[in-house]
Amino acid sequence: MMDVKLAKTAGFCFGVKRAVDQVYEQLEKTGGPVYTYGPIIHNEKVVEDLEKKGVQVINSEAELKEITTGVVVIRSHGVGKGIYDILQKPGITIVDATCPFVKKIHRIAAGQNAAGRRVIIIGNPGHPEVEGIRGWCEPSALVVEEPDQIVNLPVRREEKLCIVAQTTFNYNKFKDLVEIFTEKGYDILDLNTICNATQERQVEAGRIASEVEAMIVIGGRNSSNTQKLYEICQKECKNTYFIQTLGDLNPECVNSVRSVGITAGASTPKQIIEEVHTNVRIKF
């Protein structure tokens, strides 16, 4: 019989569950329209279910400015100060579902920027969480994702820097990038703002991947934290597969191995994880 190891940390983290619950809560308690600024989480199944129930996704500031009434839920990734300013209208109710760990980075970024330190964000520049952080320390903030970007960074040697991280960034990579800043002699205040749940999930995923013949990582295509899990697992197990649902899993990938590991990103619903786990354990 196949040995299947399911990560204990797989699935919704605290911040994601809190955000999703708040949207469903608003659907139950309000008679007016409910909007989310961007998809509430990076999982297509959850977003589709909410849309069927009447939740509308707002994808741009231009669209947001057109809204005159209803509830607008700010997703777990958070937003910049400018979005709050746009939403200050008489007919709009703001429900702030920003993850508390992300909120903490907003306070740090705003405070250090005001104190004269240039904020360096270690993360994916196109990710909504990073865009939101930048919105609290513009215009001088810079985003770094790879070591070679530090070489030509437009920062003067005498500048004081504050380094923060996207909450779902790879912890080991963050340490390596901070080390490069240190070696270059910059005056830095480095703050590891990667959330504990992310670090625990990454460590557990890597450990399980090192112990099995095949590894399955479940999550949305646009989920940054799931992509990081995939990269970590792939380093430990060459037979690592990134799927959104059970339907994406090719049986041939796992039916010839004796051990399989399963983990999932922070935006992956429990029922999807259970479906994959059950089918792999029983059928393969």
Q: Residue 218's CB: how many other CB atoms inside 10 A? A: 31
Dump pLDDT digits (tens) for 145-171.
999 999 889 999 899 999 999 999 988
Residue 99 has pLDDT above 80, yes or no: yes
Q: Answer whether 81's CB lies under 8 Å from 135's CB.
A: yes
For range 128-143, the mean pLDDT = 95
Question: Residue 43: which pLDDT band, with cuts at 50, 70 and 90?
Answer: confident
For range 65-75, the mean pLDDT = 95
Residues with a known catalytic role: 129
Q: Residues 131-135: contacts with CB within 8 Å, 24+ apart?
A: 131/79, 131/80, 132/77, 132/78, 132/79, 132/80, 132/83, 132/98, 132/102, 132/106, 133/78, 133/80, 133/102, 133/105, 133/106, 133/109, 133/164, 133/166, 134/80, 135/79, 135/80, 135/81, 135/82, 135/83
Q: What is the pLDDT of residue 284?
A: 62
Residue 54 identity (one-letter amino acid): G
Show me where the domains of the chain are located: 3-12+196-283, 14-98, 101-190
Question: Residue 224: which pLDDT band, with cuts at 50, 70 and 90?
Answer: confident
Nearest Cα neighbor of 138 from 74, 190, 82 is: 82
Question: Residue 245: which pLDDT band, with cuts at 50, 70 and 90?
Answer: very high
Q: What percent of the chain has pLDDT over 90?
A: 87
pTM of the model: 0.88
Domain spanning 3-12+196-283: which CATH class is it, in words? alpha beta
Per-residue tokens: 145 = 């994702």
Q: What is the pLDDT of residue 42?
A: 85
Instruction: Measure the CA–CA gap between 196 and 173, rounded to whole angstroms.
Output: 15
Q: Answer whether 127's CB lies under 8 Å from 149's CB.
A: no
Q: What is the pLDDT of residue 36?
A: 97
> What fold does the segment set 14-98 form as a domain?
Rossmann fold (3.40.50)
Is the Cα dihedral 91, 22, 59, 137 positive or negative? positive
CATH of domain 101-190: 3.40.1010.20
Phi-psi region of 4 (alpha: psi -120 to 50; beta: other; left: phi over 0): beta
Residue 275 identity (one-letter amino acid): E
Strand 3-6 and strand 259-264: the pairing is: parallel
Residue 260 has pLDDT above 90, yes or no: yes
Question: Residue 283: which pLDDT band, with cuts at 50, 70 and 90?
Answer: low
Q: If you count DSSP H runs as helices and E runs as strands, how many of each does the chain have, helices first?
A: 11, 12
Q: Say yes or no: do domains 3-12+196-283 and 101-190 share a fold.
A: yes
